[in-house]
Amino acid sequence: MPITSFLESNAHKFGSDCALVEVNPEMRHSTAAWNEAELVETDRHPGYRKTLSWAEFDTQANHFANLLISRGVKKGDKVAILLMNCIEWLPVYFGTLKVGALAVPLNFRYASDEIRYCLDLADVFALIFGAEFITRMEAIQGEIPNVRLQFFLGDGCPTFAEDCLQLTAGQSADKPNVQICDKDDAAIYFSSGTTGFPKAILHSHAGLVSACVTEQAHHGQTKDDVFLCIPPLYHTGAKMHWFGSLIVGGRAVLLRGATPQWIVETAASEKASVIWLLVPWAQDILDAIESGEIDLTQMDLSAWRLMHIGAQPVPPSLVKRWQSIFPNHAYDTNYGLSESLGPGAVHLGIENVRKVGAIGVAGHGWQTRIVNERGEDIPRGKVGELAVKGPGVMRCYYKDEAATAAVLRGDWLFTGDMAKQDEEGFIYLVDRKKDVIITGGENLYPVQIEDFLRAHPKIKDVAVIGLPDHRLGEIACAIIEIKPGFTANEGEMMEFCAALPRYKRPRRIVFDTVPRNPTGKIEKPRLRKKYVGESLVEQQIR
């Protein structure tokens, strides 16, 4: 069955129940006076808090679907979504799927040239965008000939687009008469671009449905759970974790903004029970609590039962800090890729908290292997490439046979992540295959060095990259971001690194901000562009 069936079933069974909430704390904090209970119980502050019932959600999706059909969009066409997180995002997404068209979510950080590139690569026929993107879209008018329709969502519709809200108002609320099956193509997602320009990843309805089943199997969502969604909806991680709520008709809260105060306040006011965080957000929350910026005694977080993290390696020290402050929280680590639809091709499992540091074992419905360069299984304890097989593996990289052949071998997806298994079969990420530093013939895995350095009480974040060296080939350089209010110097970091084996010690130290993309992954290409080839004067660690 197509994933749209879950929305239609929820609208039938739970029509008047709340499905989606959009919370905009910036508007609340700009209001002179507000009452927290009132904001949760009523809709008197629609700018701060907007809601949709399951019936309204489904109706809005039908409105958008019928608009697309009326304008010539048909099954198999591609519809791009360029919106910030908002309550209209998911109805637009599901409306696109109801037509049998493919939803093509776009990263809201894309510059104009990246938007143009992705629209062209995915053969996009129609695009819907928000007010934040008017300038970027203006810059490429005349350069996107394949895009026949441009819809605008918001106030102040530009002349080159059509007002979506006005157009949908007159559309039928009936379900479109389009036959969709689970084998049909459903969506094109773009890779995060941490290793270059993004690739277009093609997924089917069956793949999306499998994400619902996997997520709910891992975390046991019920109708009573409330999922707090903070990451961007264009990414598989956020949406696929929400799918665990979709399958049971649970409520989701879309938070616009990710400051520690806003996350914790919203978790309290909305009675959130399941929250998926990225590493930087979890670190910021802990720092804010420990500094006194957040006073937990003033908030009721009793409903919060599960905190889980994914999208990048999770430092064990972070989880230990979290558990010391939130001892009653279940914890899970999730590993997935956009190529495997996000919610847990590998997962730790809340029952395996003793194994914090591992990404876990094969997820529900998934299989894993650790292989050498020839694709052969290797013994436990040895480092090799992680390969996964399961119902969420992509169909292909759209219009890129060579890239597809490089990562798909039969039903197995070769992830590009270097990993190893312990004696119990738990998998530990070592690093990205392309990030491995070869220094004097030795392989250095930056994640291991980064995890070590993050244990320093003054370090907020760290990234380790390779720099060219005429004698060793490459040397490790640690880019260190210090916590606000602290100072540090090279000598202090050198002394701390002395506890590492000599060959693992970074040879250079740089103090700078560590850039991360919206899904929390370190943007190492940006760091390499900035530092590789530059004359660094930082002291070497001998």
Question: H/E/C letters for each residue in 282-327?
Answer: HHHHHHHHHHCCCCHHHCCCCCCCEEEECCCCCCHHHHHHHHHHCC
Is 240 in contact with 342 (CB distance < 8 Å)?
Answer: yes
Write down the pLDDT at residue 36.
42
pLDDT exceeds cutoff 60 at 195: no
Question: 3-state DSSP helix/strand/coil percent for the chain, to nearest 5?
Answer: 35, 25, 40
Is 153 in contact with 133 (CB distance < 8 Å)?
Answer: no
**Mean pLDDT calculated for residue range 252-268:** 94
Write down the pLDDT at residue 257.
87
Is 331 in contact with 355 (CB distance < 8 Å)?
Answer: no
Q: How confident is the model at residue 457 (pLDDT cuts 50, 70, 90)?
A: very high
Residue carrying the six token digits 């972070």 = 318
64-106: pLDDT as tens digits? 999 999 999 999 999 999 999 999 999 999 999 999 999 999 9
Tokens read off for 430: 């070592």
Tokens read off for 505: 């010690």
Write down the pLDDT at residue 463.
93
Write down the pLDDT at residue 420.
93
261-313: pLDDT as tens digits? 999 999 999 999 999 988 778 988 999 999 999 999 999 999 999 999 876 66
CA 482-295-277 angle, 5° bins:
60
More confident residue, 123 or 192: 123
**Mean pLDDT calculated for residue range 502-510:** 89
Q: Which of 323-337, 459-473, 487-501 has the lowest mean pLDDT?
A: 459-473
Q: How confident is the model at residue 32 (pLDDT cuts 50, 70, 90)?
A: very low
Spatial neighbors of 105 by CB under 8 A, at least 6 apart, are: 80, 81, 93, 187, 189, 190, 233, 234, 235
Using only C-alpha atoms, the chain has a radius of gyration, in whole angstroms, of 24
CA–CA gap between residue 58 and residue 10 (Å, rounded)? 9
Write down the pLDDT at residue 39.
40
Q: 117, 92, 95, 96: which is closest to 107 by C-alpha?
A: 117
* Domains detected in the chain: 4-324 (3.40.50.12780), 436-531 (3.30.300.30)
Rounded to two decimals, the pTM is 0.82
Q: How confident is the model at residue 519 (pLDDT cuts 50, 70, 90)?
A: low
Task: Write the CA distances from 352 to 173, 291, 347, 464, integer angstroms.
Answer: 46, 30, 10, 29
Is 333 in contact with 352 (CB distance < 8 Å)?
Answer: no
Look up residue 157 and give its amino acid. Answer: C
Write down the pLDDT at residue 194.
46
Longest dimension (CA), the chain: 72
Provide the percentage of residues in the chain whose pLDDT is more than 70.
Answer: 91
What is the CB-side half-sphere exposure of residue 132 using CA atoms within 13 A? Answer: 11
**Mean pLDDT calculated for residue range 8-14:** 98
Tokens read off for 55: 């019936």
What single string gives the DSSP state of each residue in 444-490? E-HHHHHHHHHTSTTEEEEEEEEEEETTTEEEEEEEEEEPTT----H
Write down the pLDDT at residue 416.
86
Write down the pLDDT at residue 532.
81
